[in-house]
């Protein structure tokens, strides 16, 4: 036996902490250290450059100045061409039980294994510095650091896509990005170019309904579902294939903002989603998502009224159930945004044995684009050596050199086959874990064509419309009024109404109403009456108030007993309360207790919270009644359909707002407990247990869309 044959392949065993341990080698901590140059030379003075005389020119030999300035000049790297603005988190994934019957992917076999993951959520359209709460698709990309190498699931929070063939992607992205002559608008689809393109691309009809639905304005990355969108294949040990679609289901349910709120947040806190994710993880409110798969055996490929390869179609969950197979927990914020979140590089082509591709023409194009884009974005093919991108599985191959090579490959051999290196690194058989592509039989003439089976553009769009609740339908129509209302070309607006009329006549008529375009002469539609309850967000609401943010409005003289009893009950159920007052700092209660106001009216607004609570205290309420900002909180929260609670004299602040006058709740709240459309009050606050119960129920419901006359209340 020679030297080469004695060596055994590396074996890796990973656990939840493996990636963290790998990253530790690269972390730098300046605490207690001297300032040095990049060469490690200690610096004695960094506030003045080296000059010839006090008032003389700077000298070339100032290596500290030159190095510092050169590094600074080269700091920016190209932002992602899409999904430029995003936010990431570390965590782990665990399968519930072995999926060996359908896939040999090792991270889907053993429930005891916690596979480390890094997830990046993103907005698609805006540039890196744009606002979080714009209407957009949200990216949901997951890198699993598995024992068999990195697996990337690069998905979105909407299960379908605009186009069927990747060759249209540059057109789609050009049309939605700011217009090239004046670079407007930023991070918005609401402009002529986009709707011009869409009006000429009927295959996008289904997707634009999803985009303009409430899914387009997510309340939180933690409160949205994720979808792999494209169809992939699962392959088991016997080589049997299933078509598979991937799902992430948020354990907090799917929640949205309202449009007015989303726009205001763009100014009040442009980092709203990023901050929400960061703070939740810092506070231990770890986001959790269940992992689900929809499976279609290969032999059933043609049994459906949609083509399983068409990325503009869902597989209705009622027809192809989602099997929940595992859970992901995000429990650690990155140490450094650039090093981790910016430099992470995803690629749908990063798969492990047991997961393969389908011929979905959108996926096929993606398989080219992602590697290509990383090379320009991260400056060469060695980006896989950047710590966040490094697999935990060992890497051995003959890829060498190029910019910023970190690995020091030993030995003289850098080719295969070789004898001088004992034939290493050697290919692995399927049994040894080698990736073997699924042996699909493919035959055909070269042709640029769209399959006939892809040409039903409207049936599922109608099904989506049919599946929406009344409130969701209203929001959709309003969204069309906004988006198409921003379009200057009447011709484009008219063409869009024609397109919508192919989906549903009522939808087209209602959309036309707000945008100065005649309703269709004849109401159109597909005649599809089917609906898919699973696509409505209304059905995802979970009975929990975990991590919801509650604003508590107080002034001097508030009632401490009421405040603490309610806050205790809410926080006991996992909600997070924040005291808001005109000025930050200590606020005294009527009985000499104290709380700290952590925000003032300048640094907060009702749009930053999920619910409002006003405890009593005669003096506090008299003060709040005089503060327009406090009244504004109540009105706006009512208008945005958020739960509002008030106890004791707190009711008088509600009376002072417009919600009883214009909002046409009962004329005034009764003395006893009331819960009307999420406005929960009790004047007699001797026992608050029933109030707390009702208020918690109201908060769990998230929004109360059916509030009467809410549009009459100013916001």
- Span interacting with ligand HDD, options 48-56, 149-157, 426-434, 487-495, rule CB under 6 A: 149-157
| Residue 461 contacts ligand HDD per CB under 6 A | no
| Residue 80 contacts ligand HDD per CB under 6 A | yes
- Span interacting with ligand HDD, options 9-17, 161-169, 177-185, 194-202, rule CB under 6 A: 161-169
Peptide bond into 257 cis (omega under 30): no
Question: Can you tell me which of 156, 312, 333, 581 binds ligand HDD, judged by CB under 6 A?
Answer: 156
Tell whether 120 is in a known binding site.
yes
| Residue 81 contacts ligand HDD per CB under 6 A | yes
Question: Can you tell me which of 169, 454, 457, 458 binds ligand HDD, judged by CB under 6 A?
Answer: 169
Tell whether 66 is in a known binding site.
no
| Residue 314 contacts ligand HDD per CB under 6 A | no
Query: In whole angstroms, how close is the CB of 278 to ligand HDD at the nearest point?
Result: 16
| Residue 157 contacts ligand HDD per CB under 6 A | no
- Span interacting with ligand HDD, options 80-88, 218-226, 258-266, 571-579, rule CB under 6 A: 80-88
Residue closest to 91 by CA, chosen among 324, 327, 410, 370: 327
Query: In whole angstroms, how close is the CB of 170 to ligand HDD at the nearest point?
Result: 8
| Whole-number Å distance between alpha carbons of 97 and 108 | 8
Q: Are 14 and 392 in contact (CB under 8 A)?
A: yes
| Whole-number Å distance between alpha carbons of 257 and 219 | 5
Residue closest to 661 by CA, chosen among 642, 638, 681, 691: 638
Question: Can you tell me which of 126, 311, 557, 617 binds ligand HDD, judged by CB under 6 A?
Answer: 311
Specify burial of residue 437 (Cβ count, 10 A radius: 0-12, 13-18, 19+): exposed
| Whole-number Å distance between alpha carbons of 428 and 441 | 23
CA 680 from centroid of its chain's CA atoms = 31
Closest CB to ligand HDD among residues 373, 593 = 373
Query: In whole angstroms, how close is the CB of 168 to ligand HDD at the nearest point?
Result: 8
Query: In whole angstroms, how close is the CB of 243 to ligand HDD at the nearest point?
Result: 15
Specify burial of residue 45 (Cβ count, 10 A radius: 0-12, 13-18, 19+): exposed
String marking each residue 537-566 x if it binds ligand HDD according to CB under 6 A = ------------------------------
Helix segments in 177-269, DSSP class H: 192-199, 205-212, 259-268
| Residue 245 contacts ligand HDD per CB under 6 A | no
Question: Can you tell me which of 14, 23, 82, 492 binds ligand HDD, judged by CB under 6 A?
Answer: 82
| Whole-number Å distance between alpha carbons of 26 and 12 | 20
| Residue 369 contacts ligand HDD per CB under 6 A | yes
Query: In whole angstroms, how close is the CB of 4 to ligand HDD at the nearest point?
Result: 38
| Residue 161 contacts ligand HDD per CB under 6 A | yes
Please work out, in degrees rounded to the nearest 5, the angle formed at the alpha carbon of residue 696 by the alpha carbons of 691 and 699: 125
| Whole-number Å distance between alpha carbons of 311 and 163 | 7
Query: In whole angstroms, how close is the CB of 365 to ligand HDD at the nearest point?
Result: 4
Q: Are 328 and 93 in contact (CB under 8 A)?
A: yes
Question: Can you tell me which of 176, 208, 209, 362 binds ligand HDD, judged by CB under 6 A?
Answer: 362
| Whole-number Å distance between alpha carbons of 553 and 580 | 5
Query: In whole angstroms, how close is the CB of 260 to ligand HDD at the nearest point?
Result: 27
- Span interacting with ligand HDD, options 150-158, 248-256, 315-323, 608-616, rule CB under 6 A: 150-158
Containing 674, the helix (H) or strand (E) segment is: strand 674-676
Question: Can you tell me which of 125, 154, 654, 682 binds ligand HDD, judged by CB under 6 A?
Answer: 154
Closest CB to ligand HDD among residues 156, 681 = 156
DSSP 181-206: TTTBSTT---SHHHHHHHHT-GGGHH
Question: Can you tell me which of 365, 379, 433, 514 binds ligand HDD, judged by CB under 6 A?
Answer: 365
| Residue 141 contacts ligand HDD per CB under 6 A | yes
| Residue 223 contacts ligand HDD per CB under 6 A | no
Tell whether 377 is in a known binding site.
yes
Tell whether 42 is in a known binding site.
no
Nearest residue relative to ligand HDD (C-beta): 139
Count of residues in contact with ligand HDD, rule CB under 6 A: 27
| Whole-number Å distance between alpha carbons of 533 and 317 | 9
Closest CB to ligand HDD among residues 282, 372 = 372
Closest CB to ligand HDD among residues 349, 433 = 349
Query: In whole angstroms, how close is the CB of 136 to ligand HDD at the nearest point?
Result: 12
| Whole-number Å distance between alpha carbons of 147 and 12 | 6
Closest CB to ligand HDD among residues 375, 534 = 375
Residue closest to 357 by CA, chosen among 165, 173, 228, 170: 228
Q: Are 249 and 228 in contact (CB under 8 A)?
A: no
Sequence-ordered strand ranges (E) for 11-148: 85-95, 115-123, 138-146
CB neighbour list of residue 626: distance below 8 Å, 6 or more residues apart: none
CA–CA distance from 302 to each of 3, 320, 417, 563, 713 (Å)?
54, 14, 43, 61, 53
Closest CB to ligand HDD among residues 357, 705 = 357
Query: In whole angstroms, how close is the CB of 229 to ligand HDD at the nearest point?
Result: 4
Query: In whole angstroms, how close is the CB of 33 to ligand HDD at the nearest point?
Result: 32
Query: In whole angstroms, how close is the CB of 86 to ligand HDD at the nearest point?
Result: 5
| Whole-number Å distance between alpha carbons of 556 and 526 | 61
Residues 505-542, buried b or exposed e (16+ Cβ, 10 A)? bbbbbbbbeebebebbeeebbbebeebbeebbbbebee
Active site residues: 83, 156
| Whole-number Å distance between alpha carbons of 645 and 32 | 49
DSSP 413-479: --SSS-STTTT-S-PPPTTTT------------------GGG---SHHHHHHHHHS-HHHHHHHHHH
Tell whether 85 is in a known binding site.
no
- Span interacting with ligand HDD, options 78-86, 231-239, 293-301, 350-358, rule CB under 6 A: 78-86
Pairing of strands 585-588, 679-682: unpaired
Residues 110-139 that bind ligand HDD (CB under 6 A): 120, 122, 139
| Whole-number Å distance between alpha carbons of 341 and 337 | 5
String marking each residue 83-112 x if it binds ligand HDD according to CB under 6 A = x--x--------------------------
Closest CB to ligand HDD among residues 278, 482 = 278
CA–CA distance from 182 to each of 176, 186, 565, 598, 675 (Å)?
14, 11, 55, 41, 51
Closest CB to ligand HDD among residues 387, 505 = 387
- Annotated binding-site residue numbers for heme: 80, 120, 169, 366, 370, 377
- Annotated binding-site residue numbers: 80, 120, 169, 366, 370, 377
Site residues (CB under 6 A) for ligand HDD?
80-83, 86, 120, 122, 139, 141, 154-156, 161, 166, 169, 229-230, 311, 345-346, 362, 365-366, 369-370, 373-374
């Amino acid at each position: 036996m020679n030297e080469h044959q004695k060596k055994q392949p590396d074996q890796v065993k990973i656990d939840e902490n493996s990636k963290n341990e790998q990253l530790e080698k690269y972390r730098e901590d300046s605490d207690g250290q001297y300032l040095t140059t990049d060469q490690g030379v200690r610096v004695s003075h960094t506030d003045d450059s080296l000059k010839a005389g006090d008032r003389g020119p700077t000298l070339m030999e100032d290596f500290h100045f030159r190095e510092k300035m050169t590094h600074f000049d080269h700091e920016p790297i190209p932002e992602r061409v899409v999904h430029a603005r995003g936010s990431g988190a570390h965590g782990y994934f665990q399968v519930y039980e072995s999926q060996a019957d359908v896939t040999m992917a090792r991270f889907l076999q053993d429930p005891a294994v916690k596979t480390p993951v890094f997830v990046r959520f993103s907005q698609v359209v805006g540039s890196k510095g744009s606002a979080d709460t714009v209407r957009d698709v949200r990216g949901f990309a997951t890198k699993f650091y598995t024992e068999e190498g990195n697996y990337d699931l690069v998905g979105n929070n909407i299960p379908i896509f605009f186009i069927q063939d990747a060759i249209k992607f540059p057109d789609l992205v050009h049309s939605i990005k700011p217009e090239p002559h004046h670079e407007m608008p930023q991070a918005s689809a609401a402009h002529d170019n986009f709707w011009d393109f869409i009006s000429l691309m009927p295959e996008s009809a289904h997707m634009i309904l999803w985009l303009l639905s409430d899914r387009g304005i997510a309340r939180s990355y933690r409160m949205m579902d994720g979808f792999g969108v494209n169809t992939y294949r699962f392959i088991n040990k016997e080589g049997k294939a299933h078509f598979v679609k991937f799902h992430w289901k948020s354990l907090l349910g799917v929640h949205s903002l309202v449009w007015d709120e989303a726009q205001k947040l763009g100014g009040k806190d442009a980092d709203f989603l990023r901050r929400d994710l960061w703070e939740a993880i810092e506070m231990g409110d770890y986001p959790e998502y269940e992992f689900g798969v929809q499976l279609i055996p290969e032999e059933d490929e043609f049994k459906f009224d949609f083509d399983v390869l068409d990325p503009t179609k869902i597989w209705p969950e009622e027809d192809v159930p989602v099997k929940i197979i595992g859970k992901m927990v995000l429990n650690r914020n990155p140490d450094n945004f650039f090093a981790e979140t910016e430099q992470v590089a995803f690629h749908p082509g990063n798969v492990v044995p047991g997961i393969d591709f389908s011929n979905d023409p959108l996926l096929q194009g993606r398989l080219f684009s992602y590697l290509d884009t990383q090379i320009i974005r991260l400056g060469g093919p060695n980006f896989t050596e950047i710590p966040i991108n490094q697999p935990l599985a060992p890497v051995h191959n003959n890829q060498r050199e190029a910019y910023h090579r970190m690995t020091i490959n030993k030995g003289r051999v850098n080719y295969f086959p070789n004898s001088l290196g004992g034939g290493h690194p050697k290919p692995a058989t399927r049994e040894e874990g080698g990736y073997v592509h699924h042996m699909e039989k493919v035959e055909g003439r070269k042709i640029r064509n769209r399959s006939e089976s892809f040409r039903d553009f409207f049936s599922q769009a109608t099904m989506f419309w049919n599946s929406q609740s009344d409130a969701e339908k209203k929001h959709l129509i309003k969204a069309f009024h906004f988006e198409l209302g921003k379009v200057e070309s009447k011709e484009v607006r008219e063409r869009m109404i024609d397109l919508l009329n192919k989906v549903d006549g009522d939808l087209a008529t209602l959309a036309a109403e707000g945008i100065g375009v005649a309703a269709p002469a004849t109401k159109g539609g597909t005649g599809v009456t089917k609906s898919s309850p699973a696509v409505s967000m209304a059905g995802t609401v979970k009975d929990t108030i975990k991590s919801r943010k509650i604003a508590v409005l107080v002034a001097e003289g508030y009632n401490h007993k009421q405040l603490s009893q309610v806050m205790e009950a809410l926080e006991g159920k996992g909600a997070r309360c924040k005291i808001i007052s005109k000025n930050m700092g200590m606020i005294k209660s009527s009985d000499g207790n104290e709380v700290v106001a952590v925000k003032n009216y300048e640094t907060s607004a009702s749009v930053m919270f999920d619910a409002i609570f006003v405890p009593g205290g005669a003096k506090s309420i008299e003060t709040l009644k005089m503060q327009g900002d406090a009244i504004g909180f109540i009105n706006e929260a009512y208008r945005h359909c958020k739960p509002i609670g008030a106890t004791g004299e707190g009711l008088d602040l509600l009376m002072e707002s417009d919600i009883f006058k214009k909002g046409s709740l009962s004329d005034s709240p009764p003395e006893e407990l009331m819960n009307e459309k999420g406005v929960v009050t009790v004047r007699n606050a001797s026992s608050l247990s029933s109030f707390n119960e009702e208020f918690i129920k109201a908060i769990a419901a998230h929004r109360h869309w059916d509030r009467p006359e809410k549009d009459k209340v100013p916001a």
